[in-house]
Amino acid sequence: MSYRLPPLAALRAFESEARHLSFKKAAEELNVTPAAVSQQIKALETYLGLSLFRRLTRALEMTAQGRAMLPKIREGFECLAVAIETAAKTCDGVLNINAPPSFASRWLLPRLPGFAVAHPEIEVRLSSSADTVDRRGETSVSEDEFLDPRSAANKVVIRYGKGHYPGYRVEQILAPERIPVCSPLLATPQRPLAKPADLGRHVLIHDETIDAEEHLSGWAQWLSSAGAGGIDAERGPRFSNAVLAVEAALNGQGVALALRPLVAADIAAGRLIVPIDFAVPSPYAYYLVLPEAMARRPSVAAFCSWLIDEIARDDRQTTVGAGVKADGISRRRTGV
């Protein structure tokens, strides 16, 4: 049947070009350079043995042949798009979300009711899988059984890593900083906690999720950035999970290094404080990962835009935090 198809990429270029009657605009739409479009069109003309555009000085003009084939090409692409839509549509209704436990419980879960109110028609199923950075921080998400195509459903995953998930649509949603947090009761006149050096006399709580993936442990990094060189960064209790580390801090068991967005609510509520306002950026970030074709499903699109809005709202509130960070840097200087 279709064992002899035209060069499809070139047809796509042709269609775009025909709409704009401009190589430059078509190139923009296709996210390539005009040179690339020019070559595609030329290849198509060679394939057909006839010219599709008459190159005038300022504008382009389609030839009769070009005009003749355009409608069927549009129809063809339309069919293909519909086909994709058809397949994806079979699994609408519920929305499966998978996220690392820390993000799920400390960030997403508290906000989900808001989404449910905005979209009562969508049934959300939230799951969380191991709270690890993707292996080496850059591998694909393909061994991720949650995204396994065999389970046909609308699905979205949130991952903490370097954002390299080939074949999927990837959107960075948070580039978190790490800040020290502890119970407001931890610091006492006897054991103050105001400058990095003070940490030497406090318990450091470790989150092994972060530590495992880097040459330098989280506290070692923070301490060296903060200029507190003399402190043993490795002592203290270790937890295999960020949630546990934060909870230990809430309990007054020491000072934990936490991703700011995951503890923002606790800080606002006064359950946690930031004893030393110095932040180090995390080498990883949170990414929203989903199959390309899912991006246009209504429930998925709704969730994605809701999520992005929520993040934006957070950012607006944390704009204060930017000032805090600058402050932190000056403290660092005095602290050294």
Partner DNA sequence: AGTGACGATTAAGTTCTTCTAAACCGTCGC
Partner DNA sequence: GCGACGGTTTAGAAGAACTTAATCGTCACT
Contacting residues toward its own copies, per CB under 8 A: 1-6, 8-9, 11-12, 15-16, 19, 29-30, 43, 45-52, 63-66, 68-84, 86-88, 90-91, 142, 147, 149-150, 152, 154-155, 167-168, 290-294, 296
Considering the complex, state which of residue 45 and residue 177 has its C-beta at the smaller distance from its own copies.
45
Q: Which does 301 bind (CB under 5 to 8 A by kind): its own copies, DNA, none?
A: none
User: Cβ of residue 236: shortest distance to DNA, in angstroms?
Assistant: 37
Residues 6+ apart with CB under 8 A from 94: 122, 123, 124, 125, 153, 154, 299
Cβ atoms of residues 293 and 87 within 8 Å:
yes
User: Cβ of residue 2: shortest distance to its own copies, in angstroms?
Assistant: 4
Q: Which does 87 bind (CB under 5 to 8 A by kind): its own copies, DNA, none?
A: its own copies
Considering the complex, state which of residue 43 and residue 295 has its C-beta at the smaller distance from DNA.
43
How far is the first Cα of the chain from the last one, in angstroms, to the nearest whole number?
Answer: 74
Cβ atoms of residues 8 and 16 within 8 Å:
no
Q: What residues line the site for DNA (CB under 7 A)?
A: 7, 9, 22-24, 31-36, 38-43, 53, 55, 57-58, 60
Considering the complex, state which of residue 135 and residue 201 has its C-beta at the smaller distance from DNA.
135
Q: Which of 84, 60, 87, 71 is nearest to 11 (CA)?
A: 71
Considering the complex, state which of residue 1 and residue 269 has its C-beta at the smaller distance from its own copies.
1
How many CB atoms neighbour CB 132 within 10 A? 18
Considering the complex, state which of residue 48 and residue 324 has its C-beta at the smaller distance from its own copies.
48
Tokens of 80: 């293909």
Q: Which does 46 bind (CB under 5 to 8 A by kind): its own copies, DNA, none?
A: its own copies
Cβ atoms of residues 242 and 284 within 8 Å:
no
DSSP classification of residue 131: -
Q: Which does 50 bind (CB under 5 to 8 A by kind): DNA, its own copies, none?
A: its own copies
Concatenating the DSSP letter of every residue in 163-188 gives: ---TTEEEEEEE--EEEEEB-TTS--
Q: Which does 133 bind (CB under 5 to 8 A by kind): its own copies, DNA, none?
A: none
Distances (CA, A) of 275 to 107, 154, 231, 328: 22, 42, 17, 11
Q: Which does 237 bind (CB under 5 to 8 A by kind): DNA, its own copies, none?
A: none
User: Cβ of residue 37: shortest distance to DNA, in angstroms?
Assistant: 7
